Chain A
Amino acid sequence: MINVRDIRDAARDLLAKGEVRAVIGYRRGSRGMAAEPVVITAPEQADELVWDPTCFHNLALYLVEDRKFLAHSRKAPGAPIAIIAKGCDARAIVVLMQEHYFKREEVYIIGVSCEGVGVLDERKLAGHVPGTPTDAAFEGDDFVFTTPEGEKRLPAREVMADRCLECRAPFPKEHNVVFGEDKTGRELAAPFAALARFEEQGATERWDFWRRQFERCIRCFACRSVCPMCYCDECVVDSITFPVAPETTADEKANRIRWIERSAVRSENITYHMTRAMHLAGRCIDCGECERVCPVNIPLRLLNNKMEREARERFGYEPGASIGAASLVASFNDSDPGSFIR
């Protein structure tokens, strides 16, 4: 069990000593019990920090935002920035460092282990808890919700996010300081279970499923916005920085390469999502944020899990395992599968 006071003390201490310029963490949000991301810069703000089952956000995203902000303001980073990171978040940070997005010494990782549980999936909560809970807390293998009708205790497994059930590495291996027990290797549910079930179907059923899913995509790009790996300054689907000079002709403007149209129609949606899955191959650390934020509930984790499992089984590649490792698509083995090539 992690005592939130330990996290607050660590953050307060770091800020007071000036070892870090800010701490990225969670605070109580304005939407019911849900926590929200916060960046604190003064020691007295440390008491705002919380740690509970609603801390689902992958805060690595804000390291990317911070980096972009610094780049645009042309400021030197100065002291490192601290971040509260769960197992999955820490893996995301490792991938970013592997890609030289920032250096190890520029980040101070305050690791928090999810231990035997994980974060809540709000969609699973319906019907389990009366009214609107105002608070959630970890309690061993249970979550305790504070509702207008009193406290309600639920086994975490019933309302936990699927990705947390499947998670085998709830402990942030890469850290400067860490709270909570190391339960690496725990297995609450078989990994890639949903994927295996899905793959039992034939190609026609699979296509039918994806066709229906991608017809519903509204191209809000929430999946892209929430993903710490989608840090490109210009996304391939936007093509907004087409350089237009006085001599650029209307023909050139009309015929510039548009890999994918932005219109929310099936063919473009599926091309967008497959492109994204490819760009995340060997980088996605399965934080599940894309699926959580999707307003039309497209099971995006299936696509990313597929790539993750292929990388693991065919190439022995584990994303976010080591800062120094070569990335999946920038390395190869002689034993890579090649029998599909004629």
Chain B
Amino acid sequence: MSEPETYEPKIVAFLCKWCSSAGSDLAGVSRIQYPANATPITVPCSGSISPLYILSAFNKGADGVLLSGCHIGDCHYIEGNYLARRKIYLIKELLEFVGVEPDRFRMSWVSAAEGAKYAQVVKDFVADLKPLGPQDKLKADRT
């Protein structure tokens, strides 16, 4: 168990290649300071994120999972984020249903021009995750 003040939540961030991944790059090249807790994983589209990615991330020890894609109407594949919205709504409901804290899971729309927004999303997420402590509900015990 880590002490509350030294505890740093691990975030797995699934970012779409066309918007959010570029948005996180912009945050970097603009030298915006934000917590380094998020491990970005670039996916082709937010619609390509399988609910299994999310469950598996929690299973492998993530304290929080962030999904991010293009704003509605801006999807590179026209409708990928519409499909994501529906799918992710269902998995979000299911996670809350079994009792996983709603704050462990977050979705945002971040465009390639919104580096500042991406930094803010991560900042807020880390701030919300810290009081929750480590995630041990879905995490596999591999000791």
Contact = CB atoms under 8 A, between A and B. Distances in A.
A binds B: yes
Given A274-B94, A275-B52, A342-B121, A329 B83 contact: yes
Interface string B113-138: 00000000100100000000000011
A205 B97 CA distance: 11
Interface string A306-325: 11001100110000000000
Contacts of B4: none
A72 to B, nearest CB: 27
Contacts of A311: 90
Interface stretch (B11-19, B21-29, B100-108): B100-108
A203 B99 contact: yes
A210 B138 contact: no
Contact of B108 (A203, A207, A267, A341): A341
A78 interface: no
A307 B86 contact: no
A98 to B, nearest CB: 17
B138 A271 contact: yes
Nearest to A202: B99
Contact of B109 (A261, A268, A331, A341): A341
B32 interface: no
Contact of A274 (B88, B98, B141): B98
B140 interface: yes
B106 A342 contact: yes
A210 B97 CA distance: 9
B55 A275 contact: yes
A317 to B, nearest CB: 10
A267 B139 contact: yes
**What does DSSP make chain A's interface, helix, strand, loop or mixed?**
helix
- Interface residue tally on B, bucketed by range: 35 or more
- Interface residue tally on A, bucketed by range: 35 or more
A338 interface: yes
A24 to B, nearest CB: 32
Nearest to B51: A278
Contacts of A208: 99
Contacts of A271: 55-56, 58-59, 138
A332 B90 contact: no
A278 B56 contact: no
Given A204-B99, A341-B108, A260 B94 contact: no
Given A207-B100, A267-B139, A270-B98, A337 B56 contact: no
A341 B109 CA distance: 7
Given A341-B108, A342-B108, A310 B93 contact: yes
Interface in B58-98: 58-59, 72, 79, 82-83, 85-98
Contact of B94 (A204, A209, A306, A341): A306
Interface in A249-278: 259-261, 265, 267-268, 270-271, 274-275, 277-278
Interface in A209-254: 209-211, 236
Contacts of A199: 97
A203 B55 CA distance: 18
A125 B43 CA distance: 52
Contacts of A277: 94
A328 interface: yes
A340 B86 CA distance: 11
Nearest to B46: A341
Contacts of B52: 236, 259, 275, 278
Given A310-B90, A329-B87, A332-B86, A338 B98 contact: no
Contacts of B138: 267, 270-271
- In this complex, the member of A208, A209, A268, A329 whose beta carbon has the largest number of chain B beta carbons within 10 angstroms is A329
Contacts of B88: 341
A6 interface: no
B9 to A, nearest CB: 17
A281 interface: yes
Contacts of B137: 207, 211, 267, 270
Contact of B85 (A205, A206, A332): A332
5 contacts: A203-B101, A236-B52, A260-B56, A303-B98, A314-B89
Interface of A: 199, 203-211, 236, 259-261, 265, 267-268, 270-271, 274-275, 277-278, 281, 303, 306-307, 310-311, 314-315, 328-332, 336-338, 340-342
Given A260-B55, A274-B94, A307-B90, 9 more contacts: A203-B96, A207-B99, A210-B99, A265-B141, A267-B138, A271-B59, A274-B51, A278-B91, A303-B98
